[in-house]
Amino acid sequence: MTQPIRNVSVDAPIGIFDSGVGGLSVLRHVHAQLPHEHLIYFADSGYAPYGDREEEWVIQRSLAVAAFLFGQGVKALVVACNTATVAAIKAIRTEWPGVPIVGVEPGLKPGAAASRSGKVGVLATDRTLHSEKFLTLRDQISAATQAEFLLQPCIGLVDQIELGQLGSAGTMALLEQYVSPLLDRGADTLVLGCTHYPFVENAIRQVLARHASHDASAPVTLIDTGDAVARQLARLLEGAGLLRPAGVAHLRGYTSASAAVLAEAFRALLSLTPQVDAVDVA
């Protein structure tokens, strides 16, 4: 029989963080699958985006945010940011060994499994797509499945989503710029390789619908890995004896930028109204 991690209560919250509001796309899956768990979300919007930062900076910043959340007594941590996962999750696990820590994977394996043509478009930040970890994973899955991964850095897209511009003309222009070339090259599956991107899924589908070569009888598949992250978190909590079985759950938000902006993101994106506070995490 598994035992809880020493000195950690099943009633302790789960910490989730991202460089901004994108990790809310992961939080919604965690909230749906683990409705009895207390959650703390940290949006590091004062330092966003992470995608164009140097790797060592991302590591140090991620460790600082993780330290803040562990200081709040969390029993588990979700690194709900692709860039931070790639750069920093090893360092976070080294700093807090034995704690359930889940990162977000870029979705290459499910993308390859879903593709009929064998051509999979990957939308992500430039930092993620050029990381050694990502490229090694791409090569491994490509060799095993014969899938061809078409990599598309989406410069500026995170900024638009952080501003709440989910369907604006500027966002649509960026998506047209990034998605259309992938379709032209035969991609029938698009991996949303940044946790921000599920929030523009409807806008992406508008681009797909307008694309001249798009075949309505064979729709393009979009891969969002938030559900898999929540399932992995549940497995780790169960294995550690840390699942909270019942009771009313509480949600709390923190941000390194504007509390009002994060509160509005919770309301607009998830229809939730938690208490949100701005904090200085150095």
One domain for residues 135 and 266: no
Q: Say yes or no: 41 and 135 in one domain.
A: no
**pLDDT score at 216:** 55
83 annotated as a binding-site residue: yes
Please identify, among 223, 247, 267, the residue that sits at the C-terminal boundary of a domain. 223
Q: What is the mean pLDDT of residues 104-116?
A: 94
Reduced to 3 states (helix: H, G, I; strand: E, B; else coil), residue 106 is coil
Is 196 marked as a binding-site residue?
yes
> Considering 203, 223, 243, which residue would you say is the last residue of a domain?
223
Model confidence at 219, pLDDT cuts 50, 70, 90, reads confident
Q: For position 7, what pLDDT does the model report?
A: 78
* Mean pLDDT to the nearest integer, 136-146: 97
Question: Which residue did the predictor score with more confidence, 210 or 147?
Answer: 147
Same domain, 141 and 216: yes
Q: What integer pLDDT is reported at residue 215 of this predicted model? A: 55
Q: Which of 14, 21, 48, 81 is catalytic?
A: 81
Residue 91 vs residues 45, 78, 101, 141, 174: alpha-carbon distances, Å: 21, 14, 11, 24, 33
Using DSSP, state whether 64 is helix, strand or coil: helix
pLDDT (0 to 100) of residue 1: 33
Q: DSSP letters of 96-119?
A: STTS-EEE----HHHHHHH-SSSE
115 labelled ligand-binding: no
Peptide bond into 110 cis (omega under 30): no
Same domain, 113 and 219: yes
Question: Which residue range forms the structural domain that includes residue 235?
Answer: 14-104+226-278
Total domains, the chain: 2
Mean pLDDT of the chain: 94
Judge whether 194 counts as a catalytic residue: yes
pLDDT in tens, 25-58: 999 999 999 999 999 999 999 998 898 899 999 9
- Say if pTM beats, i.e. exceeds, 0.85: yes
- Considering the domain architecture, whether residues 74 and 143 belong to the same structural domain is answered as no
pLDDT bucket at 86, cuts 50 / 70 / 90? very high
The single residue of 194, 228, 263, 276 carrying the catalytic annotation is 194
Pair (177, 44) in one structural domain: no
**Average of pLDDT values for 143-165?**
96
9 is in an annotated binding site: no
183 lies in the same domain as 259:
no
